[in-house]
Structures are given as C-alpha cells and as structure tokens.
Amino acid sequence: MRELVPGGNLPLPDGALSLQVPGPFDLSVLITGDDGKVSGDADFVFYNQPSAPGARLRAGGVSLDPGRLRAGASRVTVTVSPADPGTALSGLPVPALTVVADGAGPLARFTPARPAHETVLLLAEVYRRGAGWKLRALGQGYADGLAGVARDFGVDVAEEPAPERPAGPVRSTVRAGGAASGGATGAVRGEASGTEAEFAALVRSARRAAGVAPMVLERRLSAAAQAHAEVMARQRRLGTDGPGGVSVYQRITAAGYRYLQIGEQLVSGPRTPREFVDYCLTGDATRGPLHDPALTEAGVGHAVDARSGDVYWTALWARPFTGDGLLGVTAEVLALTNAERAAAGLRPVAGDVHLGRAAQAYSADMAARAFYSHTSPEGSAPWDRAAAAGAAHRGIGENIACGQRTAREVVRDWMDSPGHRANILKPDFTHLGAGFAGGGPAGTYWTQLFGLA
C-alpha cells in the first residue's frame, strides 16, 4: 500500500472506491466542475444531505464512484471536521485516509500533519485527468469551519449575522519551512508598492522583536503572490493550485525564482497589511514562516473578490537557492539517513557523485514536468537513470517524496513508510545520492538513490 504525502498523486482504477477515515470525525464531500464551484446545493454532501449521484457518506468514510457523478463534475473534494462541534480538531487523533478500491483492496494511505488552529481539513480530492481519475492528497486547513469551506466552493450558506463583525472571517492555509539558520538585510529589491512596503515594515518589526534577522522583500515572489491571490479571489477559495492545476510554486519558478525552502500563507479575511500580519502572529502555526530565520526572502499579494468584498492574501517566504545551499541540503539527507542506519546498528552509506547526479536530475525533472512516479514519462526506471549517470552499482533502490519542506521532514516521512524505511535500513546498500528541487504542483521533490557496490 502506497504512503502519500501532501501534494502526492495516485492514479485510480475504474469503478467504485471507498475513502475511509475512522475516528470521531464528520466527513463532507463537495462536487465541482472545472471552475471549482458546485452547480447547486445538491453537490454538497454532508451529515444533513448524505448522498448525491456517485457519492454517499457511510460510517467512517465515503463511497465514491466517479463514473456515476453528475454531468460536468470533474473534481470531488473530501473534508473532515470534528464530529463534536465543541471539540478542537487539534485535540483529536490525526485523521488518516485509506483509499480502497472495490475488489482490489487498499491502494494508499495519507496522514496529514496534525492541525493547529484549523477547524476543518481539506483532506483529499479526486479529479479527472484525461479519460481517467486521480486522487491528490491535500491536508489543507481552514479556520472558519465547514460553512467557510462551503462558501468558498460556491454553496449558499445561510447563517445568522454576527454582531460587530466588519471584517470577514479569517480562513487560512499555512505551510512553512524548517528551522535552519539564515539571515539577510532588510532591503527591498525593486520598487515596492504601498502594500508591499507596509507589509515589509511590519514583518521587519515582528522579526526584530523575535530576535530574527530581517528579510528581503523579493519582487519575483511578490509577483507570484499577487497572481495567486487574484486566482483565489476569482475562484473564491483558498488553495495552492488554480485553473488548469497551476500551483503557486509553479508561478514562483515561472517568475525565475529558485528556492531551497518555501513557506506560504493563504488567508482570506484581513483588510489591511496590518490586519494580515497581526493574524499571522496569532498562533504557533501561523507565525512559523514569519519567525523562521531560514526563510530570508518574502513576497506578498492581495486581491478583492468584487462579488463578496472578501480580501484574499498570499504571502510567500523562501530560502533562496544557491549551489552551496543545495549541497548542504543533500548532505543533510545523507547525514540523517546514516543516523537512522547507525541507530539500527548498520554501517553508513557513502555519498556517491554519480548517484547524486541521477537523483538531482530526477527531482528536477519531476518538478519541471509535474509528475510523481518511480517511472519517468519515457518509461525509465531508477536503475536506468543510475546507469545513464555513470553509476556502476550491482543493485539500485530509490525513495521519492514530494511536499516536505526540510531534509529532516522528508527523512522522517520515509522512515514512517515501511517500503521507504526498508531502503534506508537495507544492510547491503553501500552508497547514496540525494536530490532536491522546488516547484511543480507539490512545491518540493526529493529523491534518494541507493547503490550496492
């Protein structure tokens, strides 16, 4: 059974599926077309309306038959929230999704990061790709409840008006890099807009108060952030991807910016840069990117949905790419891998330039061409790529991953997956090459290529 990471994709077989999430949770399903919007209230499947053509809620899961969805449906988003509205999602077990194909057994499992302040998680989406269907692991959080999610997907939610609430509710998704050291000056690269300049001054003050070096306002990041905020405002929903599956990370790399770590904050509700930064400082998860000393460059954009007046924000935080930095990242993967081997009583693997060259090229290829598989679009396998790079090892093993923001996070996830763990702890392996690339739908792509001398 395959272990998925955030942003990971899974081709689905034809026929019915079961999406199982056991535990004290309520599941909901939103059925949308290519525009990301429901066609009507019937497309919202939840505890008060437990079925629609092709989708039905069952105890501990959802039964889904993509071939029986209503005409024009191209995406099914599965959300999870506490069954007891008075219970915080962060206080419950992490909701683990198991994908089961009728007659074929379990296909994959996805365990998102533990929620912090979020009240709802967008757990996964099933979407049409050509003539078939795929599943993408999400793990994106909302702080505004199921009603906020439904509104962003176009459902008309009737609620009693809240008194003295001039600004809209705050909804957000946050992903951050790790805590590696770094620093930069407080300069602004290029001429900043009033919003960018105010944002930069507020962030500089907040980082100074936290004892963190100032960041650089990077115009390419701001351009990507602005374009993505406008997409979210048009779609009226938060998310890292837009029409046609173009992600915010692809917008960053298309602007010519390369990174070694990336963090993003996608928020709706605040009206001004000060309100936005104040929100970012409200909790450990939301202040993570702003206070992370490794993320030394930033960009910001915002856009207003003319229909509702909601303001959508995108803040991007990055550790910029350098050749030495990449060597440091891959060396950390090697060191962490050897630490796991040492803990298991195994001899270390040595770094190998040929395996490293193949691993780096494959991570870059997955990011550039937006695929995620051990087999390339041309059909090459790991041993083919190792041989093409000049490696002459008798045996080859490969681990890949996407979505993790640091070397420590990706090695931990590999160790939590039985198949990947087996490669890391295989006694016979003697050499290792590691690769990392930013971009693509998932934001980060990692490769380990093991060799047996």
Cβ neighbours of residue 150 closer than 8 Å, sequence gap 6 or more: 30, 44, 157
CA distance 159 to 147: 9
- Per-residue pLDDT for 4 more than 90? no
Q: What is the mean pLDDT of residues 350-364?
A: 96
What average pLDDT does range 357-380 have in this prediction?
Answer: 94
Report the half-sphere exposure of 278 (CA within 13 A, side-chain side): 8
Q: What is the largest CA-CA distance in the chain?
A: 71
* Per-residue pLDDT at 190: 41
Q: Which of 61-65, 104-108, 158-162, 218-222 has the lowest mean pLDDT?
A: 158-162
Q: Which has the minimum average pLDDT: 1-10, 58-67, 219-228, 396-405?
A: 1-10
**pLDDT exceeds 80 at position 127:** yes
From 122, 115, 133, select the one nearest 97 (Cα to Cα): 122
The two three-digit tokens of residue 427, written as one number:
């006694």
**What tokens were used for 303?**
């856009």
Average pLDDT of every residue of the chain: 86
The tokens 């001054």 sit on which residue?
201
pLDDT tens digits along 194-203: 888 899 999 9
| pLDDT band per the 50, 70, 90 thresholds, residue 169 | low
Res. 59: pLDDT tops 60: yes
**CA 270/CA 276 separation, integer angstroms:** 5
Long-range contacts of 240-246 (CB under 8 A, 24+ apart): 240/7, 240/140, 240/173, 240/175, 240/264, 240/266, 240/441, 240/443, 241/441, 243/34, 243/35, 243/36, 245/370, 245/441
**What is the model's pLDDT at position 165?**
35
| pLDDT score of 251 more than 60 | yes
The residue to which tokens 């959802």 are assigned: 62
Contacts with 14 (C-beta within 8 Å, 6 or more apart), sequence order = 67, 132
Instruction: Give residue 211's pLDDT.
Output: 95
Residue 188 reports pLDDT greater than 60: no
pTM: predicted TM-score of the whole model, two decimal places? 0.62
Q: How confident is the model at residue 329 (pLDDT cuts 50, 70, 90)?
A: very high
* Per-residue pLDDT at 158: 44
pLDDT of residue 241: 83
CA angle 158, 168, 125 (to 5 degrees): 70
Name which of 156-165, 316-325, 373-382 the model is least confident about: 156-165
Span 99-108, mean pLDDT? 85
What's the confidence (pLDDT) of residue 414?
Answer: 94
Higher pLDDT, residue 44 or 158: 44
Q: What's the CA gap between 376 and 400, in Å, rounded?
A: 12
Give pLDDT, residue 260: 97
Range with lowest mean pLDDT among 84-93, 240-249, 267-276: 84-93
pLDDT 10s digits, 277-320:
999 898 887 888 999 999 999 999 999 998 889 999 999 999 99
In this predicted structure, the answer to whether residue 157 has a pLDDT above a threshold of 80 is: no
DSSP state of 244: G
In this predicted structure, which of 277-286, 335-344, 417-426 has the lowest mean pLDDT? 277-286
Q: Taking residues 189-193, what's their average pLDDT?
A: 48
Please state the length of the chain: 453
| Residues 288 and 175: beta-carbon distance below 8 Å | no
Q: Which H/E stretch holds residue 207?
A: helix 194-209
Q: What are phi and psi of 212, to 5 degrees?
A: -110, 140
Predicted local distance difference test score (pLDDT) of residue 162: 37
% of the chain at pLDDT higher than 70: 89
Residue 176 has pLDDT above 60, yes or no: no
Q: Please state which of the ranges 60-64, 240-244, 358-362 shows the lowest mean pLDDT.
A: 240-244
438 confidence band (pLDDT: 50, 70, 90)? very high
DSSP state string for 31-78: EE-TTS--SSGGGEEBTTB-EETTEEEETTEEEE-GGGSPTT--EEEE
Residue 327 DSSP SS3: helix
Q: What is the pLDDT of residue 368?
A: 94
Q: Using an 8 Å Cβ cutoff, are 431 and 386 in contact? A: no
Joined tokens for residue 121: 């998680």
Measured distance CA(410)–CA(435) in Å, rounded: 12
Predicted confidence (pLDDT) at residue 186 exceeds the cutoff of 50: no
The rounded percent of the chain whose pLDDT value lies above 90 is 59
